[in-house]
Amino acid sequence: MEGLTPEGVSYRTVGMKRGATWVRKGVVRKGEAMQLRMKREAMRLGIGLAMVVVWGGVAGRAAAQSDVALHKTTYYLHGRIYTNDAKEPWAAAMAVRDGKIYCVGTLEHILLDCGGADNTGDTLQLKGSFMMPGFNDAHVHMGAAGRDKLTLSLNGAASIAEVQQRVKEAVAKHKPGEWIVGAGWDQSRWADQKFPTRLQLDEVSPDNPVFLTHISGHVGVANSLALKHAEITPDTKDPQGGQIDRFEDGEATGLLKESAMEMVRQRIPDPTAEERRKGIELVLEELARNGVTSVQDNSEWDDYLVYGDLKEEKKLTVRITEWLPFAAPLNELQDRRAQGGTTDPWLKTGALKFVSDGALGSRTAAMLAPYSDDPSTSGIMAMDEEKLRAMALERDKLGFQIAFHAIGDKANRVALDVFESVERVNGTRDRRDRVEHAQVLTPEDLPRFAKLRVIASMQPSHEMNDLRWAEQRLGPERSKGAYAWNSLEKSGARLAFGTDYPVEPINPLRGLYACVTREAAESGPAGGWEPQEKISLEDCLRAYTSGSAYAEFEEGKKGELKVGEYADFLILSQDITKVAAKEILNTKVVQTVVGGKVVWKE
């Protein structure tokens, strides 16, 4: 609409998505109508006004240039931008300034209202590319992943013979007496599915101590020399929360479960500072390459100090919330919280993590009834419930968020019982306590997550891997409460998704595929295992972004492409909301941006 003001000044209104908006408070003076039309033409073409005649006074240009120098803006135009904002889920353009999202919306809005047509910033033509918020992995072990990068990889080994061959090759590169450390073997992928023993490792490494961790991280196997270093004999008792597997004659088989692994690990030399940093740098590169812009990490304090060094050097490429060890003394926890801080947008401390049971694959997850495929065991609880409750009460009084690893239905019940006791004794507050994994739940316990406001921090890609044998472990009835994403969501529980990297690959797209199919990529089953627990792609994306942000008290700061939130986002090779589910796995990350800076580009 065009006309004259009462003062005789020409004006024009601009139709916007949310209704008519006055340009420059509703007034366009004589001569500026032409400039506005030129801006509209520039907007239509997606070019800056350097391509057309620019009207305006010298003083106005100088002021604009001064502002640009202080606040450089990058414009992303002509994209298919998934904002994860329920009110405005899609946009065509976005502007980034000072590490945050400055504007997002229609192309017209970005060009006319946010300076996109002024040719004063950098412009990236998306050409219809799919953009979305960066992934926030709610459960990783960066330090362990870094060490895995520098030790023997057993991932994908198809048999114990292949494990032996890889160990033999590693021995050839070490001097006698030096440790051979590796991880990633998975006996469930072997023909006989039997756990390895020290005797098989002794065949290829009689003169080097060997310790190899299972892909789950909850079981390890040592050779005879490593057991000798750990002083494990037939008379050695099982430690609290662990088990030394034994032959019938009482001799150790070499298989160590849960806390028993520490008996050997304590004898393995720590990585040097240089090795630790190198491993972490390799992990950071992998995270960026996979579109992960935030993580909630459970690593050693020495790893956290490396993160701090990288941050000071401006080389940190992911935002990190670091968990502290629940069982550490209270004064140590308070000191580390004070030292590590709780507010820095790049690096801070967060929840207290405790591993209360084991894993399904190794049959160490604590179950209320024996395993269906091994009635001799119901798994392992790492701590007595009363002691766990007492420690939780103490730590909660100091304001700590608590995260319990719980996989079996017994461990999950104990975790929920403890959280319920904490609230009853210490009173109500915004705790956001968490259960990490929450893999197997009884029908009675499932609704308690929402009732107690406990976050279910889960890893969809676990289901994609575990479905090969999960029903063997659980039986058909307990399987109905396994990896129950849909039931938890419908009950009102909040979900936060991650990978448990390096237990699973860091690639979040595998998790998205698992959400919508509940199938293994190579073997189905067609229609999915326990298909009633599928969730939509949108809900899965939410759990992997804003849901994870809520779990670390960062909602409104990350997880959505909204004005004022961190400019953490990625560009994918295709629109995952339009492709077939199988194609999600073939999607590539083209660019990853954290804090407005490109940290990965294909």
Q: Is the pLDDT of residue 600 over 50?
A: yes
Q: Is the pLDDT of residue 194 over 70?
A: yes
Q: Is the pLDDT of residue 300 over 90?
A: yes
- Beta-carbon contacts of residue 399 (< 8 Å; ≥ 6 apart): none
| Percent of the chain residues past pLDDT 70, beyond the cut | 88
What the block records as the tokens of 323 is 């968990």
Domains of the chain: 2-128 (2.30.40.10), 142-265 (3.10.310.70)
What is the average per-residue pLDDT within 498-525?
95
**Residue found under tokens 């088989």:** 253
Mapped onto helix, strand or coil, the DSSP state of residue 21 is: strand
> What's the pLDDT tens digit per position in 121-176?
899 999 999 999 999 999 999 999 999 999 999 999 999 999 999 999 999 999 99
Strand partners, 455: 434
pLDDT attached to residue 117: 81
At position 233, the amino acid (one-letter code) is T
To which H or E segment does residue 135 belong?
Answer: strand 135-140
Mapped onto helix, strand or coil, the DSSP state of residue 254 is: strand
> What's the pLDDT tens digit per position in 51-91?
333 333 434 444 444 444 457 899 999 999 999 999 999 99
> What's the pLDDT tens digit per position in 339-349?
999 999 999 99
Look at phi and psi of residue 524 and say left if phi exceeds 0, alpha if psi is from -120 to 50, else beta.
Answer: left
- Beta-carbon contacts of residue 35 (< 8 Å; ≥ 6 apart): 54, 55, 56
